[in-house]
Chain A
Amino acid sequence: MSALLEVQGVSRTFGATRAVDNVSFAVQPGELLGLIGPNGAGKSTLFNLIAGVMPPSGGKIVVDGADVTGWKSYDMARAGVARTFQIPKPYRQLSVIENVMISAFLRERSMAGARDLADVTLSDLGLAPYRDRPASELTVGLLKRLEVARALAMRPKLVLFDEIMAGLTPTEVGAMTEIVAGLPAKGITVIWVEHVLYAIMKTATRMVVINRGSVIAQGAPAEVARDPAVVKAYLGEEMQLA
């Protein structure tokens, strides 16, 4: 099986700081890859490099066999890579359905088609009751769900989730975990950056741990959690895993 995403020796420097340093890993179709690391490890930078927000200073990014290094956000979106934003970025003056329709236009060019796709996505995520509400009225938990809805309405091959659990109540975390866990079965590969570790440890099929810009461990969640390097990176604290 050829990898859906290959990150090959990717680096990114900001002035003298190496935020991401020679990172390599691959994601197979159908995987649910957890990407974790302590604060400032370079997760967000790596995430932004894959999403096309900024070009890497070195290395190569390959999606589905095509070299996409240096592609812009919208090129990546068109290539089938969707993303969410850690701090939700809704279209504030638009309604919830309109927010999702804008993503749906990527696959459905007509208004009616996009509306149908958006409606299906909204009900999948339990957002149907908020369909016609302005996005500006949503709570943080709902905005996070809207982020996921927008990404999924693009019918992506690969979706990048950036801390979609932060700020959610335990019930909401449970509901969201279920949604994410169901994606590989729908043919959507997931890379998931998360701080709420118990959610990701339960769900991910594989973990990549980075610290100080480099990969320090990868493998099955339970394996990674026992890895001394990982435990040390999290300041020696014992991780409580559900």
Chain B
Amino acid sequence: MPQRGQISWFEIVLFTSCVIWVAFGFAPALQDVVVLSFLFAGLALAWNIAGGCAGLISFGHAAFFGIGAYTSTILFQSHGITPWLGIFAGAAAAAIGGAVLSLICARLKGPFFILSSLAFAEVVRIIALNWSSVTGGAEGLSIPPVPDVANMVLGSKPAYEALTLIYLILAYAIMRWLEASRFGFYLFAVRDNDDAAAAAGINPLMVRSSAMALSAALTGVGGTLFAQYFLYLDPTYVISPELSFQFALLPAVGGLGTAIGPILGSFLITPLSELLRANLGNAAAGLHLVIYSAGLIVVMLYFPSGIAGALEKLKSRKPRP
């Protein structure tokens, strides 16, 4: 088995190429796609802490994304607090949301947990939709597009590439730390066997709630970055089930419970979906979704343990020294 917590050469090369790409401002036409790929890789890593490591498959992470985005944006608009601080408030609010969700659903496992996480996000979405005095309701909130680094409105796409890349690397570092820490081992334990974990002196509920809180906090950070990039947010997108599915899908495609899997998943799927939408969206309505879904089915059929799992298999096929 691979040594946990270790960074491979492949990953060092991958991150270095990302940094070079951003530093030299390559391919201006693709900068939108790159920002989203970085952002969603970070979000996929965040989801993976709960779903991949602790076995809490959640279809409700858009709630935490939305809580993060709304918290920082509302703090900025009505109290003038810079999103550089609001991002922490958003993370904290999302963490509380995550802890609440896992405490409510403490006894639920497998499909029942999945369904209740979905319901939780719907409740959050409906609250955001109807509490218009604070959230702007269906009209959403917009942030004035006045570039000002102090307010995290960066004005240039490479700057956003850098910001989202930092987020991605932060999420990756947290994942690598988890893999090589006692707390991370506890997550794996409750995922693989609750009873055995409890018999080893681990309180499964505490571990699950902490995992969910950490995952939610990191997702909330992604929410703030998203809001600061698009400068607009409404409940219909930021707290949508589609977004929740996307968070779960990327690690599933890339490799659940691994550090590199969610990144590979996002680097493959995000550009695919964005480019298909951009190029085919007008040609035939829905065609991009058909191709996108067909691609997903192929990946799921042939790489059930994700891209990371397939790479691992390739490596172990080589004779060992």
* Chain B nearest CB, measured from A23 CB (Å): 22
Interface residues of A in 143-183 (CB under 8 A from B): 150-151, 154
* Chain A nearest CB, measured from B6 CB (Å): 13
**A102–B180 CB distance below 8 A:** no
A interface size (C-beta, 8 A) = 33
**A102–B198 CB distance below 8 A:** no
| CB-nearest residue of chain A to B196 | A89
In the assembled complex, the Cα of A95 lies from the Cα of B198 at a distance in Å of 19
**A78–B201 CB distance below 8 A:** yes
**B201–A90 CB distance below 8 A:** no
**A77–B185 CB distance below 8 A:** no
| CB-nearest residue of chain A to B206 | A74
Other-chain residue from A85, A91, A103 in contact with B192 (beta carbon distance below 8 A): A91
With A73-B195, A77-B200, A102-B202 in contact, do A109 and B182 touch (Cβ < 8 Å)?
Answer: yes
Contact code string A96-122 (vs B, CB < 8 Å = 1, else 0)? 001001110110011100100000000
A18 within 8 A of B: no
**Across-interface contacts of A53 in B (CB, < 8 A):** 195
A241 within 8 A of B: no
B interface size (C-beta, 8 A) = 23
**Across-interface contacts of A89 in B (CB, < 8 A):** 193, 195-196
**A102–B185 CB distance below 8 A:** yes
**B199–A85 CB distance below 8 A:** yes
| CB-nearest residue of chain B to A133 | B1
Find the residue from B186, B188, B201, B257 having the highest chain A CB count within 10 A: B201
Find the residue from A91, A95, A98 having the highest chain B CB count within 10 A: A91
In the assembled complex, the Cα of A225 lies from the Cα of B123 at a distance in Å of 64
**Across-interface contacts of A134 in B (CB, < 8 A):** 1
Find the residue from B186, B191, B202 having the highest chain A CB count within 10 A: B202
Contact code string A38-78 (vs B, CB < 8 Å = 1, else 0)? 00000000000001010000000000000000001110011
* Chain B nearest CB, measured from A147 CB (Å): 9
**B200–A103 CB distance below 8 A:** yes
Interface residues of B in 167-223 (CB under 8 A from A): 180-182, 185-186, 188-189, 191-193, 195-204
**Across-interface contacts of A83 in B (CB, < 8 A):** 199
**Across-interface contacts of B196 in A (CB, < 8 A):** 85, 89-91, 150
**Across-interface contacts of A93 in B (CB, < 8 A):** 188, 191-192, 257
| CB-nearest residue of chain A to B1 | A95
In the assembled complex, the Cα of A95 lies from the Cα of B181 at a distance in Å of 15
* Chain B nearest CB, measured from A201 CB (Å): 27
In the assembled complex, the Cα of A72 lies from the Cα of B200 at a distance in Å of 11
**Across-interface contacts of A74 in B (CB, < 8 A):** 198-204
In the assembled complex, the Cα of A132 lies from the Cα of B4 at a distance in Å of 12
* Chain A nearest CB, measured from B195 CB (Å): 6
| CB-nearest residue of chain B to A82 | B199
A92 within 8 A of B: yes
In the assembled complex, the Cα of A150 lies from the Cα of B200 at a distance in Å of 8
**Across-interface contacts of B199 in A (CB, < 8 A):** 51, 73-74, 77, 82-83, 85, 151
A94 within 8 A of B: yes
In the assembled complex, the Cα of A111 lies from the Cα of B204 at a distance in Å of 20
In the assembled complex, the Cα of A154 lies from the Cα of B201 at a distance in Å of 9
**B195–A154 CB distance below 8 A:** no
**Across-interface contacts of B191 in A (CB, < 8 A):** 93
In the assembled complex, the Cα of A51 lies from the Cα of B193 at a distance in Å of 16
**Across-interface contacts of B181 in A (CB, < 8 A):** 111
**B188–A94 CB distance below 8 A:** yes
Q: Nearest 8 CB-CB pairs, A to B?
A: A77-B201, A91-B192, A73-B198, A89-B196, A106-B201, A103-B200, A89-B193, A95-B1
9 A–B pairs (Cβ distance < 8 Å), ordered by A? A74-B202, A78-B201, A90-B193, A90-B196, A93-B257, A98-B188, A102-B189, A105-B182, A154-B201
Chain A interface residues (CB < 8 Å from chain B): 51, 53, 72-74, 77-78, 82-83, 85, 89-95, 98, 101-103, 105-106, 109-111, 114, 132-134, 150-151, 154
Known: A94-B189, A111-B181. 10 other contacts (CB 8 A): A73-B195, A74-B198, A82-B199, A83-B199, A90-B196, A93-B191, A93-B192, A105-B185, A105-B200, A154-B201
